[in-house]
Amino acid sequence: MAQTFHLRIVTPTQQIVREETEEMQVPGKEGYLGILAGHAPLLSELQVGEITYRQGRELRYLAVSWGFVEVLPEQVTVLAETAEKSSDIDVSRAQASKERAERRLNNPDPDTDINRATVALQKSLSRLQVASHGK
């Protein structure tokens, strides 16, 4: 059985990753999924979170939000609304987004969309976590 699988991560505007990898974790609808070569076929929704994948001893990280993951024994395809490598994340922008979302959630006014603010907070926290791995 193969020890690696082909990984593709794409957004509506670009292909982010196209590599051979040994294992990965993705934020599925019901929690994080661990994937190895030869995994049984699977289709899942993605949530806001962090994708981790390994090549040899090197771990790579991406912040993702929404979309789908298709797992086949020799290939995994991630179709994400957004996906950012740690090196591409603007930390100051992510920090500002986090602070803005926290203010909206801690002091909501009648016009505050609580669900939207919660998602903004989740996305900014995920981006900051991924960015911290790139340092």
Reading the block at residue 73, the tokens are 């024994």
Alpha-carbon gap, residue 77 to 58, rounded angstroms: 20
* Annotated domain spans of the chain: 5-86, 90-133
Measure Cα distances from 41 to 34, 35, 49, 75, 114 in Å: 13, 11, 22, 10, 36
Single pTM value for the model: 0.88
Band of the pLDDT at 66, cuts 50, 70, 90?
very high
Residue 1 has pLDDT above 60, yes or no: no
Residue 135 has pLDDT above 60, yes or no: no
Taken in order 35, 27, 129, 12, the sign of the CA dihedral is: positive
pLDDT (average), residues 61-83: 96
Class of domain 90-133: mainly alpha
Q: Which of 48, 76, 72, 74 is nearest to 62 (CA)?
A: 48
Residue 71 has pLDDT above 90, yes or no: yes
Alpha-carbon dihedral of residues 68, 71, 72, 76, nearest 10 degrees?
80
- Which architecture characterizes domain 5-86 according to CATH? Sandwich (2.60)
Q: Which of 37, 135, 45 is nearest to 86 (CA)?
A: 135
By the 8 A CB rule, do 5 and 74 touch?
yes
5-86 and 90-133: same fold? no
pLDDT (average), residues 34-57: 94
